[in-house]
Amino acid sequence: NKSHILSLRYVGDFLGNTIRITSIPKRKFYQYEKWRMENKTKKTIRGTSLELEINVWKQSINYGMEHDYISTTVKLFYPKFDTERKRKDDFTPEEYKKIIRFFNTKKWKEGRGWLIEQRRQFLRLWFLVLCNTGCRTGELKKLKWGNIRKHIYTDKGVRKETVEITVKPETSKVRKERTVLGFGDTWKYITQVKEISNYTKPTDYVFPNPNGKEWTPTWEMFSKIMKGSGVDLENRDLSWYSCRHFYGSMRISEGVEVYLLSGQMGCSVKMIEQHYGHLKVKHRVSELNKWKQRKGSKTFLE
C-alpha cells in the first residue's frame, strides 16, 4: 500500500533512520505535527492525515512486538490530533470568474515552450471540467476516453449537447458506478482536451501526463492559479477538491434537488444536506423575497 509506505517514510525521517526503537524518547511524537508542518508540506495538513501516519507506525510496532523483533517493554506516548472532518471551502461565483479571466491572460497562456503551454491548457480544462461535473479529482484523473460520450438533449425547444461520463466502480471512492452529465459547456471543454492531447484512444487517459500515464495536478499548480487570479489562500482551506464543492454549491443555489445531486456527485443525500443544506435555505429566502417584490405589497416586516 503506497500510503502506508509513505506514512512510514515520514515517521522514519522524523525519528531518524538510524535511531534504535528503545532509544526513542517516550513523548517524542508530541513534536510530530510541528515537524511535519515545517518539513514535509507547504500547506496545512489535516489531523486525519497525521492520525493515519501515526497509526501505521503503531501497527508496525505491534507487529514487531508480536513476532519478537521489538521488546515489549517499549512504551511510547502519542498526542491526540483534531480528526474532525471539516468541509473544504469553495469559490464564490465572483472568484470563479476571476480564475477564468486569469486563464485567458497572456501571462498564463504563454509559457517557456510548447510543452509548458500545453500543460497549462490541460490545467485550465482540468479545472473547468471539475467545476462543471462535480467529479472527485481521483475520478477525473483515472477517466478514460472510452468512458465519455456526447449527450444530446432539448431545452425549451433548443437542441443542446453535453458530456455523459461513466464513472466506473474501480475509479470511484464509493466503489459504485454512476453516470455524470456535464453542466454548461463541459462538452466544449472535453472537445478542447481532445484537440490538444496526444493520447485519444478509448483506453487512454483523458488527462494524461506528457508520457500518456496517469497525471495528478499538484497543490503547487493549484496555488499558482489561485495566486495569479488573486484568490485568497491564506484564510481559507481551498484545494482542487474545492471545485467539486463549487459545483455542489452552484447546483443547490439553482434549485437542483438533493436526490438528483447526490446521484450525480456519488454521495449520500445526508452528505449533501450536511454540506449544502444552509445554501438551500438561503436560496428559498431569495425566492420569497422575489415573490414579495413581484407582489409589490408591503408587509408587517417592512
Q: How far apart, in whole angstroms, are the C-alpha atoms of residue 276 and residue 101?
A: 27
Q: What is the mean pLDDT of the chain?
A: 86
pLDDT at 218: 92
User: How many CB atoms sit inside 10 A of residue 248's CB?
Assistant: 25
Q: How far apart, in whole angstroms, are the C-alpha atoms of residue 49 and residue 132?
A: 28
Q: Write down how long the chain is.
A: 302
Least confident of 116-125, 127-136, 169-178: 169-178
Q: How far apart, in whole angstroms, are the C-alpha atoms of residue 228 and residue 220?
A: 12
pLDDT 10s digits, 188-222: 999 999 999 999 999 999 999 999 999 999 989 99
pLDDT at 298: 44
pLDDT at 251: 92
Q: In whole angstroms, what separates CA 201 from the centre of its chain?
A: 26
Q: How far apart, in whole angstroms, are the C-alpha atoms of residue 76 and residue 50?
A: 16
Share of the chain above pLDDT 70, in %: 87
pLDDT band at 288 (very low <50, low <70, confident <90, very high): very low
Share of the chain above pLDDT 90, in %: 58
DSSP state of 88: P
Q: How far apart, in whole angstroms, are the C-alpha atoms of residue 189 and residue 41?
A: 32
Long-range pairs, 264-268, Cβ under 8 A, ≥24: 264/134, 264/178, 264/180, 264/181, 265/134, 266/136, 266/139, 266/167, 266/172, 266/173, 266/174, 266/176, 266/178, 266/180, 267/174
Q: Specify the 3-state DSSP secondary structure of 238.
A: coil
What average pLDDT does the segment 230-236 reach? 87
pLDDT 10s digits, 235-248: 888 899 999 999 99
Q: How far apart, in whole angstroms, are the C-alpha atoms of residue 244 and residue 224?
A: 19
pLDDT 10s digits, 26-71: 999 999 988 988 875 555 677 888 888 999 999 999 999 999 999 9
pLDDT at 86: 57
Q: How far apart, in whole angstroms, are the C-alpha atoms of residue 152 and residue 256?
A: 20
The enclosing H or E element of 163 equals: strand 158-167
Tell me which residue has cell 497525521.
50
pLDDT band at 300 (very low <50, low <70, confident <90, very high): very low
pLDDT 10s digits, 144-195: 999 999 999 888 889 989 999 999 999 998 889 999 999 999 999 999 999 9
Give Cα separations from 46 to 31, 139, 264 (angstroms). Answer: 16, 22, 27
pLDDT at 180: 95
pLDDT at 44: 66
What average pLDDT does the segment 71-97 reach? 83
**Residue 250 in this model has a pLDDT that exceeds 80:** yes
